[in-house]
Amino acid sequence: MNATANTHEIVVLGAGYTGMLAAVRLARRTRKLDVRITLVNPSDRFTERLRMHQIAAGQELADHRIPDLLAGSGVVFHRAAAVAIDADARVVTLDDAAEIPYDTLIYALGSTTDTSLVPGADHHAWTLDAPRQARRFSHRLAEITAAAGAVTVVGGGLTGIEAVTEIAESHPGLTVTLISAQEPGHMMGDKARAHLNRALDRLGIVREVGVRVAKVLPDAVRLSTGELIASDLTLWTAGMKVSPLAARAGIAVDERGLILTDPTLRSVSHPEILAIGDAAAVRMPFGVLHGTCQSGMPTAAYAADSLTRRLRGKTVKPFRFGYIHQPVSLGRKDAVIQFTKADDTPRRWYLKGRAAVAYKETVSSSPVPTFTMSKHMTMRVQFTNGGRSTRAIA
């Protein structure tokens, strides 16, 4: 599309799950409007964040390139990292010295693992933030396995559980320890949590529960109790942080740096900015959404649909969302699915074993087919699991 004085410039920052879906869905919805969409990301590789634990354990995943995924959509891809936002002038500055003006900015920079709160974690612990680092971890894991060494996973949330079970299953010669301030799977119901614990027992995973890490050393982890846990390789999954870019730009953020949004996901201080996924503080009646793909993808679809409606002069209904499940893989052959109420508290129902594996593979499979189909058709996205859902269909 050739830009004109009336072209509405849309810039999407971040090409993760939410940024990619927002860009391709928006391109499909606005194909008859005078808009130009630019997607900005520092890498041209699409990262399947939900599968980083598989790479870390030594598995190979498909290599998807962002330009290939965008082919035919009309979205312009700019490989660079955003370093500054001038929210008054509506300009994004990139690390290649480019300056991209926008009429609407979709902020989808996501989150990364926070290793800044515990001494030594930033120097001696590994994270699952990027494929290259996860692959390097897997190579080191193979070396440690050959020496019958010890691996420690810090964090008993869903990411930590998936990582520790994947590692223990694929490297049975290792001593694998999970350190968690809370009981692993504490958010689940009793029966689902019992299955989880049986899986951890079956895989021989040592648990240190109810303690925190005081310091990470090159070859050990010191607990808050003073105990020293030998660790040839430490994986950190406890706590997340977001880019300081929004706060530095004077965009209203909460105490964690997430962009404060109105009921339609627009910044409360700069309504020309929409925040989606982990970077947004999206408030529902039950509280602020926590960063997951389950909630992130609906925010992306809603942002694309609601922006399209605004560009066509139509009204927009508020975003509504409710959680439906907590899917957790326990290696390649086991899983547990806790079904939930809208506020993410557990219901009575759950799945385990092979049925859970099949279910999780369906709901947590690669989003690439969704991106591909979204270039050719508007896919239905359910935003809530109860009551009347809000869909901003243009």
Q: What is the pLDDT of residues 156-211, one digit of tens each?
A: 999 999 999 999 999 998 999 999 999 999 999 999 999 999 999 999 999 999 99
Task: Summarize the confidence of residues 224-246 as an average pLDDT.
Answer: 96
pLDDT of residue 50: 85
- Give the Cα separation of 109 and 267 in Å (integer): 15
Q: Is the pLDDT of residue 280 over 80?
A: yes
pLDDT score recorded for residue 4: 54
Output 122 or 375, whichever has higher pLDDT. Answer: 122
Q: Alpha helices, DSSP H only, in the chain?
A: 17-29, 52-56, 66-70, 121-124, 131-146, 158-170, 190-202, 245-248, 293-311, 353-363, 368-374
Whether the predicted pLDDT of 2 surpasses 50: no
Among the three residues 258, 291, 323, which one is the final residue of a domain in this structure? 323
Q: Examine the pLDDT at 1 and tell me if it is beyond 60.
A: no
Domain count, the chain: 2
DSSP 28: H
Burial class (CB in 10 A: 0-12, 13-18, 19+), 130: middle
Residue 382: what pLDDT? 53
- What is the mean pLDDT of the segment spanning 114-137? 94
Claim to verify: residue 248 and residue 167 sit in the same structural domain:
no
> For residue 72, is it within any domain?
yes
Give the residue numbers spanning the domain of 80: 8-110+243-323
Q: Are strands 233-236 and 125-126 parallel, antiparallel or unpaired?
A: parallel
Residue-level pLDDT at 49 = 86
* Mean residue pLDDT across the chain: 92
In this predicted structure, the answer to whether residue 3 has a pLDDT above a threshold of 60 is no
Q: What is the pLDDT of residue 85?
A: 98
Q: Is the domain of 211 the same as that of 250? A: no
Boundary of a domain, candidates 192, 208, 236: 236
pLDDT category of residue 369 using cuts at 50, 70 and 90: confident
Last residue within a domain, chosen from 194, 214, 236: 236
**Using CA atoms, how far apart are residues 358 and 339, in angstroms rounded to an integer?**
15
- The pLDDT of residue 73 is 94
Each residue's pLDDT tens digit, 291-331: 788 899 999 999 999 999 999 999 999 999 999 999 999 99
Same domain, 130 and 99: no
Residue 26 shares a structural domain with residue 100: yes
Does residue 272 lie within any of the structural domains? yes
pLDDT band for 249, please (50, 70, 90 cuts): very high
- The reply to whether 348 falls in a domain is no
- pTM metric for this prediction: 0.92
Task: Choose between 207 and 6: higher pLDDT.
Answer: 207
Same domain, 131 and 204: yes
Structure confidence by residue, pLDDT tens digits, 93-102: 999 999 999 9
